[in-house]
Amino acid sequence: MSWWNYKDAAESLQKDYHVILPILDGHADSDKPFTTIEDNAAEIIAFIDAHWGGSVLLIGGLSLGGQVLLEMLSQRSDICQYAIIESALVIPSVLTHTLIQPAFGCCYGLIEHKWFSELQFKSLRIKSCLFDRYYRDTRAISRKDMIAFLQANSMYALKESIRHCTAKVCILVGGREKNAMRKSAGMIHQALQGSILQVLPGLYHGEFSINQGTDYAKQIRELVSR
């Protein structure tokens, strides 16, 4: 997903907070190709160092963004006071990694067709008003970048240094997500002492922050006020 995942939540939060929506490398409107999750984490940390004195109030991340956030917390234990990690996979799959390149080699060209994107979009259960942004952004992702960040997503594992994280962390996962995602949430919760784990009843991958932005913003306010 891209920055517009958080657009509704950001509009609610920006009344009281300064909100920044970074664009991960390789995604639409980014200025460089995707390399690794570790590189993306280091780049955002460098931005925070340069512009915000080395630490911010809260960082949130979904899916690949959630993995980048976990890596940031591993590289810099005090990069933020609060964190919301949503649907971050931390169980590497060699099989998935191996299959990504041949699979996308065969079907990547289909993303140019609107009917194919509509099928993909429907499977993601994203609210319909976001389709135009989704279609524009997926078409803008190169084959190389698409393969690179999907492979990185399939192989990310928690670093031992995550245990030194000082942020108050809330871990979110949909109750209807795949078993590997729900198991990953439990592993993250176990690694982060004092973290909060919330299984969201009836929700699939990413539905909370994408489709329920107002409630996601409320979750942030409640976490910060504790």
Report the pLDDT value the prediction gives residue 8, as an integer from 0 to 100: 84
pLDDT value at residue 120: 87
CATH number of domain containing 205: 3.40.50.1820
Which residues does 199 contact at the CB level (< 8 Å), separation at least 6?
A: 173, 174, 175, 182, 185
Whether residue 28 is contained in a domain is answered as yes
Using alpha carbons, list the distances in angstroms from residue 192 to 13, 41, 70, 219. 26, 18, 10, 19
pLDDT recorded at residue 108: 79
pLDDT for 103 equals 83
Residue 81, in any domain of the structure: yes
Residue at 179 is within a domain: yes
In this prediction, residue 183 carries a pLDDT of 98
Residue ranges making up the domain that contains 68: 3-93+157-225
- Domain assignment present for 110: no
Contact by Cβ (8 Å): 219, 84: yes
In a domain, 201, yes or no: yes
Q: Report yes or no on 20 lying in a domain.
A: yes
Q: What is the pLDDT of residue 2?
A: 58
- With vertex at residue 170, the alpha carbon angle to CA 157 and CA 209, rounded to the nearest 5 degrees, is 90
pTM for this prediction = 0.94
Give pLDDT, residue 104: 77
Interatomic CA distance for residues 225 and 11, integer angstroms: 19
Q: pLDDT below 70 — which residues of the chain?
A: 1-4
Q: Taking each helix axis from N to C terminus, what angle separates 64-75 and 143-155, rounded to the nearest 10 degrees?
A: 60
Residue 126 lies in a domain: no
Number of domains in the chain: 1
